[in-house]
Copies of this chain bind each other. A is one copy, B any other.
């Protein structure tokens, strides 16, 4: 038995965690005379944390990821760290050995100013192929207050083209004690299911067993971040970090996994809802597939199809594109067993086209909502998967046609 209670304090909700956002002048000011935008964040624990991490599978992983992998390997997978530094606007990817040296130099000068910091990690997001503005980032190190508890500032500092900050926290009461999980993430474009697909930082005071954390993180990501697609592109910088400092003294596997899944699922769907230029969150549910892998393949194909995404933008219940995309995905299916519904409105069932004018109007009504579900039953077996995606409209083009400027 366990219960979850929502908290408002993001990644600072678990005991012993501190965080803040600072302004290093990486983001251009929004308007003349306005406050300078936050663009550097940190997460700190007063006691050392076990670190569990998932990284992008992009061959050209960014310099901070190369550095983190090196550090984790040097500690034989049992790294203890108490600090993560994050910057927006520059991905520090495709920057070669110099990029990795930049990470090391920044973290070294950080430790010189703050000797409590142990084995710090770094994450970056932004433009690829430009060296980090070292002086700007280092300029805020003196202002870092390791006792600051400003999780919302941290969650805002890591955003790039995101329209809103994404945070969540739960207190988890179990028979064997109470512990807390907090998380924040960023990600609006270059998002596609494959391992971690954006930056996400999770803190917990649960006593997560060293040998269990990595597998729990993988399981929780599988149906959250790995089920989300905004644009089919996988970034060089995708990272999910879980920092566990054990301060609560409590742990219960099922309760922890449930809370972690719930937190990451909320952040992942927030990410799709905040997809670049997106107006709608869409759940693509594929049921009745031969097996789970086929359900996943078909659901992800729907979440990625440009024709499906633009039809959703136009609130057009164009079920033919749904069928065509499933047919093109290569999964086992048949016109005579397929069923397609927009929400509760079934438009095609096992060869029968149920798309008369009143049905079309009801389906179009479903599509006008901010959030909708498209359900396809393949009628081939028991496999099921839900992928999350968004519509694709003019703003996606606008944001991405000249991202660098």
Q: Which residues of A contact B (CB under 8 A)?
A: 57-61, 91, 93-97, 127-131, 189-190, 192, 194, 231-236, 304-307, 310-311, 313-314, 316, 318-321, 323-328, 330-331, 333-336, 348, 351, 353, 355, 392-394, 396-398, 400-405
Bound state CA distance, A199 and B397, in angstroms?
29
By the criterion CB–CB under 8 Å, are A323 and B129 in contact? yes
A327-B236 in contact given A189-B307, A190-B307, A403-B318 (Cβ < 8 Å): yes
- Known contacts A396-B310, A397-B397: A404-B336 contact under CB 8 Å: no
Residues of B near A401 (CB, < 8 A) are 310-311, 313-314, 316, 393
Q: How many copies does the complex hold?
A: 2
Most chain-B CB neighbours within 10 Å: which of A129, A189, A231? Answer: A129
Q: Looking at A194, A331, A403, which has the most chain B CB atoms within 10 Å of its CB?
A: A403
Given the known interface contacts A326-B60, A327-B59, A397-B392, the answer about A320 and B232 at a Cβ–Cβ threshold of 8 Å is no
In the complex, which of the residues A232, A323, A334, A397 has the most CB atoms of chain B within 10 Å of its own CB atom? Answer: A397
In the complex, which residues of chain B have a beta carbon less than 8 angstroms from the beta carbon of A398?
A: 394
Closest Cβ of chain B to A59, distance in Å, is 4
Interface of A is mostly: loop
Closest 4 CB pairs between A and B? A128-B320, A314-B401, A60-B327, A310-B400
A275 CB to closest chain B CB (Å) equals 11
Query: Among B57, B127, B319, which residue has its beta carbon within 8 angstroms of that of A320?
Result: B127
Complex CA–CA separation, A304 to B275 (angstroms):
19
A93 CA to B319 CA in the complex, in Å?
11
Picked from B91, B96, B323, B393, the residue with its CB within 8 Å of the CB of A60 is B323
Tell me if A58 and B328 are in contact (CB < 8 A): yes
Find chain B residues with CB under 8 A from A402 CB. 314, 316
User: Complex formed: what's the CA distance from A397 to B318 in Å?
Assistant: 15
If A96-B335, A403-B316 touch, whether A190 touches B324 (CB-CB below 8 Å) is yes
Q: Give chain B residues whose Cβ lies under 8 Å from the Cβ of A128.
A: 318-321, 323-324
